[in-house]
Amino acid sequence: MAEQWNLEQLRMFVRVAELRSFSAVAREQRKAQSAVSNGIALLETDLGVTLFERSSGRQPRLTEAGATLLEDARELLRQCERLDGRALALMRGQEAQLRVAQDEAMPYQPVIDSLDELARQFPLLEVQMASGAQGDVARKLIERRADLGLLFHHDQMPVSLERRAVGRIEMVTACAVDHPLTRLERVTRQDLARHRQLLITPQESGYPGGEPISPQIWRADSFYAMAELLMRGLGWAWLPRHVVQYPTYQTQMVELASEWTPPALVVELVWRRDEPLGPAAQWLAERFAVHLRAIG
């Protein structure tokens, strides 16, 4: 017998699992609670398994079968979003406008070189550029204020976004030219721990270089904000090498020979899953990847 379940029931299943409440999902989807309960019950009947444990007065809990099928359901819904998005892109054809948002610490030259080539390849395309601190790029994409994002990988990426790694940026240990650490030929973790550490972003984001090794830390959401603090002698930091080599900073900060630095920053192209990249955006993405590898 063919299954009769549908995508609406799968969406209910995923949301009940996330919110652990039939009534909350009913309010969110503007349905009667009975409609949500019946939808889940029909899905269970069609699948032949019980998805939730139901006890009077308690939140619904996933059964072992429900936990097993949850990620499959999520992936199926993601595939449906991709299908809708690709169909929309085919219907639209080449985009008339491309809105690009980038982390403000993205290497300058690969971006400019890519845009220079884009202008020649798509002379009628309107381009809008926006820069922001860590977190701003993903927010612009979610709010549909950007079509393509260039950012550094971090763990807390919204599930509605697709991403693709295109290159890596080396991190270095740096401090102001008159910082006490500059007197050492090679700094150890113990040496670094004796001085204030400047860190990027909240630790829980999983952003590279977010782990403190000093008991005294300051945090910022921008590598350039960190660089300004660093030049005032307010601490040492792990920074992308191209930031340390920025002409304005070169005479005011130095790269330290250190026994450990964080892994390289992974540069990612990011876009909304339900709005795939158009021809111009795809072309720009490929050229940026090429130019980024060239400076690696």
The parent domain of residue 116 ranges over 93-166+266-295
The confidence score (pLDDT) of residue 210 equals 62
* pLDDT > 90 in the chain, percent: 52
The confidence score (pLDDT) of residue 238 equals 93
The confidence score (pLDDT) of residue 197 equals 95
Do the domain assignments include residue 1? no
**Which CATH number do you get for residue 198?**
3.40.190.10
The confidence score (pLDDT) of residue 92 equals 63
Looking at the structure, do residues 11 and 82 belong to the same domain, yes or no? yes
* Strands of the sheet with 253-256, listed across from one edge: 217-220, 197-200, 236-240, 171-176, 253-256
The total number of structural domains that make up the chain: 3
The confidence score (pLDDT) of residue 69 equals 93
Looking at the structure, do residues 259 and 271 belong to the same domain, yes or no? no
CA nearest 148: which of 208, 207, 200, 89?
89
Please give the structure tokens belonging to residue 228.
């300004």
Does the pTM of the predicted model rise above 0.85? no
- For the stretch 155-213, pLDDT in tens is 777 888 888 898 888 999 999 999 999 999 999 999 999 999 999 876 555 555 567 89
Please give the structure tokens belonging to residue 49.
């398994």
Do the domain assignments include residue 141? yes
Q: How confident is the model at residue 84 (pLDDT cuts 50, 70, 90)?
A: confident
The confidence score (pLDDT) of residue 1 equals 45
- For the stretch 239-249, pLDDT in tens is 998 899 888 88
Looking at the structure, do residues 73 and 203 belong to the same domain, yes or no? no
